[in-house]
Amino acid sequence: MFRFNLEKYDGYARAGEIETAHGKIQTPVFIPVGTKATIKGISKEDLDDMGAEIILNNTYHLFLRPGDEVVRDFWGAHNFQNYQKPILTDSGWFQVFSLGNMREGNSLVKITEDGVHFRAHTDGSKHYFTPERVMDIQSNIGADIIMAFDECAAWESTKEYARQAMERTHRWAVRSKEQWIKNNIAREKNGQHTQALFWIVQGVVYDDLRRESAKFIRELDTPGISIGGLSVGESKEDMYRTLDVLKDELPLEKPRYLMWVGTPEDLIEWIYRGIDMFDCVLPTRVGRHGLAFGTEGNIKIKNEIHKLSQLPLDSECQCKVCRNYTRGYLRHLLTENEMLGMSLLSYHNLHFLIHLAKNARSAVLEWRYNEFRKEFWAKKGVKI
């Protein structure tokens, strides 16, 4: 069960609604990352309180521990972690890519036409991912939205290698589709919800490759489209240009998901370029180290200037952290490495992004996204 209704667009910015077996998702939406079936320091009740509508679980990590078969024996991740809203899983490639320190000509993984051999970052054990195996793993995890297996080439790849990786991603997309169809038939027979498969556009930062990949993926008639291989080290200028290239190449009637994007500034600009869905570990990662998102810019809460401050983190934010705790107290918690401080800043950052996306949606529905975008940047002292 998967439907997408594009309600309105203002320029390229869009507002829509995704319907899944575990509930509806209003877009644009920021997706908190529960890498190992949990968002670090954040409970299910916290997620509900901050207005989260969907979370991401990581295929690679759950495959390694506790094992996708263990999650399957709980009848999927929704029951395993007691989260009954929509869940999305990624393909697992990015973790093979990043944790294996993969670079063209200097790789700790071995890519073949059939799949990829790699060693787990946890214990060095050998594993093998194929498109079919990755579809089976994600079926066992039981997410509502899953990703085709792809190859995310390094941002500095030569054009020759970028094309090889893109074409391999296309061949793997076809194989992923065939296995996804088989798995959905089996899931229906077992009384389980079916899964929506998103295929992934690749091509590094080469405009013609990105157009070619978008055309191929578009013709596969996918439930949704993901954009991979960005926010992996390339410049902001290259990222902007790539999305500007793709915004006219992707079908209007499909949701668009951009992976690994997690700053307030990124959300504003990518929504402006027609993206509907985002995820990133950044909000909780930087929160654990004392960085809070703010309307006027990031706040380094460990700085001495906040020691006696009785101000909230952000005067415009209505999250429980900003309503109940001062900067001085939060600074104390973070400088003492108290778990509560890490949890509270993580909560604030997630709430900030979730509600930024909700406010952007409202602006699109009211035909005022350009004004909203300008106001966002003006508060940071930037004129656009």
Contacts of 134 (CB under 8 A, 6+ apart): 59, 91, 92, 149, 176
Residue with tokens 């391999």: 168
User: Is the peptide bond prior to 86 cis by the omega test (within 30 degrees of 0)?
Assistant: no
- 238 flagged as catalytic: no
Catalytic residue among 10, 68, 90, 144: 90
Q: Which of 321, 268, 267 is nearest to 299 (CA)?
A: 321
The residue among 25, 26, 28 whose CA lies nearest residue 12 is 28
Task: Decide if 218 contacts 186 (C-beta within 8 A).
Answer: no
Place of tokens 């013709």: 219
Q: How many CA atoms lie within 13 A of 225 on its CB side?
A: 25
Is the Cβ–Cβ distance between 261 and 357 less than 8 Å? no
CA distance 191 to 322: 44
Q: What is the DSSP letter of 343?
A: H
At residue 90, the 3 state secondary structure works out as coil
Q: In 3-state terms, what secondary structure has residue 159?
A: helix
Q: How many angstroms separate the CA atoms of 188 and 196, rounded?
A: 13
Beta strand extents in the chain (DSSP E only): 2-10, 13-20, 23-27, 29-34, 55-57, 87-89, 110-111, 116-119, 126-129, 145-147, 196-201, 224-227, 256-258, 277-280, 291-292, 299-300
Q: Examine the residue annotation and report whether 248 is marked as an active-site residue of this protein.
A: no
The one catalytic residue in 46, 150, 266, 279 is 279
Question: Cα 52 to the chain's mean position, in Å?
Answer: 13
* Catalytic residue ranges: 90, 279
